[in-house]
Chains A and B, each alone.
Chain A
Amino acid sequence: MASAIRLVGVTKRYDDRSPPAVRSLDLEVEDGELVALIGPSGCGKTTTLRMINRLVEPTDGRIEVAGLDVRSVDATQLRRGIGYVIQQAGLFPHRTVAQNIAVVPRALRWDRARIAARVEELADLVGLERSLLARYPDELSGGQQQRVGVARALAADPPVLLMDEPFGAVDPIVRARLQGELSDLQRRLHKTIVLVTHDLDEAVRLADRVAVMSLGGVVEQYASPDEVLRAPANEFVEEFVGADRGMKRLRLHTVGELPFLQGPVVDEATTPAEALATLDRLGSDWLGVTRDGTFAGWVHRTSIGEAPLSRLQLHMPAAQVTPDSTLHSAVELIMSSDTSVAVIDDGGRFGGVVTLEHVRGALARGRGS
């Protein structure tokens, strides 16, 4: 795939006395890719982002957007073709929500009807009630303001979006929701997005690739979130991603990616003797029973006697997941259940089970990355 953004040997020096904020940085972002720049504060990630739309002029090096050297284009023209979203949203308080969204289309001299239609389309796209369009930004909640910020950046349908800590100023619940919405949006729009964040979970959740940066704009590792978590390139990255990187990886994978595991689950037609043999073989105390391919419930070893399994009183599963559940939520359910097994409900059908050993094994093999 073509590089939508390319930085070659980019250096930014704010003054001669201090070391450069960014030193000879090389970075390529592919078309339609969401790349997160992450690192401790002062690592040059924001400077790097702002050099792409020339809010900061590089001291040295070359930056290309869509194959074009950004310095060969007029800065205002360049910026109108690049969406820009910042932490505080930066909405114009004296303009209504609709007028805020329409800033770039108006600068591009679209006609009135086209702008009005586009504004409504964007409101729907970012999940903003149309009744809010006539309001002023100060009348909106932080989460709504940030949605307007995203709508405004998308207004002229730019192929590239730059986002600087876009969800840093909203509370964790709203942040999680906005992250989910951005993720959905990106699945539909396939923009090339560079996202600056200091929140590793955000980067892991949203990015196709993560560039972990250290002081002076040095890229320590540039890889998929799973790779960064599974195999940190060096001590700096390892320390930055933290000791719980294994747990973080659990969020990147879904139950559906695991190989099928039958576990201590049998059909109700199985004889009690065979059922007990299965439990012995697996070292389990709980037996899962399926009826017509659907999971019916659990029964404890002590309840299994002479009677057919179909006659036994079954406990409904305490831990149930779907193929779309993350391994993280599966593990959480397993930890809090009696059976130490989560049952996969694949649209009503029994889809196997998940155990801790199963999850650990899958991650160790690096499956699903």
Chain B
Amino acid sequence: MHPAQATNPIIRWEYLVDEWDQISEALVQHLRLTVVSVALGVVLATGLSAVALRFRWAATPITTTTAVIYTIPSVALFGILVPYTGLSMWTAVIPLVGYTLLVLVTNFVAGFRAVPAAVRDAADGMGMSRVRRTLGVDLPIAAPYLIAGLRIATVSTVGLVTVAAVVGQGGLGRLVLDGLRRSFWTPMVVGSSLSILLALGLDLVIHLVGRWLTPWARRRAT
């Protein structure tokens, strides 16, 4: 056994105590990057979805573009942006937003297309205005799709934020990089574990909020 590893167990518990400030700071940074990116992604995806739903011809170009963005390797995309946005938060956020678009737009469009034609017809026939129908009928019926899209986008963003540490935006990825550089297992394990827990936690929160917002979808199963 290599001597370095002998003194280097997977977890050194005192690290958690000594470096707690750093760890919690990384966690907060991670959460902030995730929330900002997903929030901006939702705003952008809402606009793109609205265009895709309004103009039939626009749907394919929009989904294709978001799919192409999704295929760009994240490390490369972070690197490409450095000359333009430096090591600012935008260097991390822009690609993260880009990656959310495919799943968000796809789910948003699918959700609104899932509104039964008969329901729309009935809403119109009862004298609902366009805005009222969209907010009061289409949106709630599409909600389970929107929530599903939001969950996937959030979980994958939590994972990608880890990679964003390469452009110096902190987050749990910094702990992982730190550990890699020093061949020190503990920060890597702590960073990865917290990232997983954060992803699961956010997923659960959105899931529960979604259930609370769509009581009818729950009753259907019974």
Specify whether A and B are partners.
Answer: yes
Chain B residues with CB under 8 A of A88: 116, 118
Distance between B69 CB and nearest chain A CB, rounded to angstroms: 33
Indicate the size class of the contact surface on chain A: 20 to 34
Q: Is the CB of B125 within 8 A of A84?
A: yes
Distance between A139 CB and nearest chain B CB, rounded to angstroms: 6
- Contact A104:B127 (CB < 8 A) given known A94-B216, A136-B219: yes
Q: Is the CB of A152 within 8 A of B126?
A: yes
- Size of chain B's interface in residues, with CB distance under 8 A? 22
Q: Is the CB of A90 within 8 A of B127?
A: no
Q: Which of A78, A86, A107 contacts B118 (CB 8 A)?
A: A86
Complex Cα–Cα for A89 and B126 (A): 12
B124 within 8 A of A: yes
- Contact A86:B125 (CB < 8 A) given known A94-B214, A138-B219, A139-B219: yes
B220 within 8 A of A: yes
B82 within 8 A of A: no
Q: Which of A76, A92, A95, A139 contacts B127 (CB 8 A)?
A: A76
B119 within 8 A of A: yes
Q: Which of A55, A86, A94, A149 contacts B141 (CB 8 A)?
A: A94
Distance between B213 CB and nearest chain A CB, rounded to angstroms: 10
B168 within 8 A of A: no
Q: Is the CB of B220 within 8 A of A136?
A: yes
Q: Is the CB of B125 within 8 A of A91?
A: no
The A-B contact count (CB < 8 A) is 75
Q: Mark A58-98, 1 if CB is under 8 A from B, else 0.
A: 00000000000000000111111000101111111111000
Q: Is the CB of A79 within 8 A of B119?
A: no
Q: Mark B117-136, 1 if CB is under 8 A from A, else 0.
A: 01111111111110010000
Chain B residues with CB under 8 A of A197: none
Q: Is the CB of A84 within 8 A of B126?
A: yes
A362 within 8 A of B: no
Q: Is the CB of A90 within 8 A of B216?
A: no
B137 within 8 A of A: yes
Complex Cα–Cα for A104 and B120 (A): 15
Grouping DSSP codes into helix (H, G, I), strand (E, B) and loop, the B interface class, with mixed when no group exceeds half, is: helix
Chain B residues with CB under 8 A of A139: 219-220
A53 within 8 A of B: yes
Complex Cα–Cα for A270 and B132 (A): 79
Chain A residues with CB under 8 A of B219: 135-136, 138-139
Complex Cα–Cα for A162 and B125 (A): 10
Complex Cα–Cα for A322 and B127 (A): 46
Q: Is the CB of A107 within 8 A of B127?
A: yes
Q: Which of B120, B127, B216 contacts A79 (CB 8 A)?
A: B127
Q: Is the CB of B126 within 8 A of A91?
A: no
Complex Cα–Cα for A107 and B126 (A): 9
- Contact A93:B122 (CB < 8 A) given known A77-B127, A107-B127: no
A103 within 8 A of B: yes
- Contact A138:B220 (CB < 8 A) given known A55-B124, A94-B140: yes
Q: Is the CB of A107 within 8 A of B128?
A: yes
Q: In chain A, what residue has the closest Cβ to B124?
A: A55
Distance between A272 CB and nearest chain B CB, rounded to angstroms: 69
Q: Is the CB of B118 within 8 A of A90?
A: yes
Distance between B118 CB and nearest chain A CB, rounded to angstroms: 4
Q: Which of A95, A103, A136 contacts B126 (CB 8 A)?
A: A103
Q: Is the CB of A93 within 8 A of B216?
A: yes
Chain B residues with CB under 8 A of A78: 127
Distance between A84 CB and nearest chain B CB, rounded to angstroms: 4
Q: In chain B, what residue has the closest Cβ to A78?
A: B127
Q: Which of A55, A138, A152 contacts B121 (CB 8 A)?
A: A55
The 10 tightest CB contacts between A and B, nearest first, are A90-B122, A79-B127, A84-B125, A88-B118, A90-B118, A80-B127, A76-B127, A94-B140, A136-B216, A138-B220
Which B residues have a C-beta under 8 Å from some C-beta of A? 116, 118-129, 132, 137, 140-141, 143, 214, 216, 219-220
19 pairs of residues in contact across A and B, judged by CB atoms under 8 Å: A55-B121, A76-B127, A76-B128, A79-B127, A86-B122, A86-B125, A87-B118, A88-B116, A89-B122, A90-B122, A90-B125, A92-B141, A94-B143, A94-B214, A95-B216, A103-B126, A104-B127, A107-B126, A136-B219
* Additional pairs, 10, CB under 8 Å, beyond known A78-B127, A86-B118, A94-B141: A79-B125, A79-B126, A89-B122, A92-B123, A93-B141, A103-B126, A103-B128, A104-B126, A138-B220, A152-B122
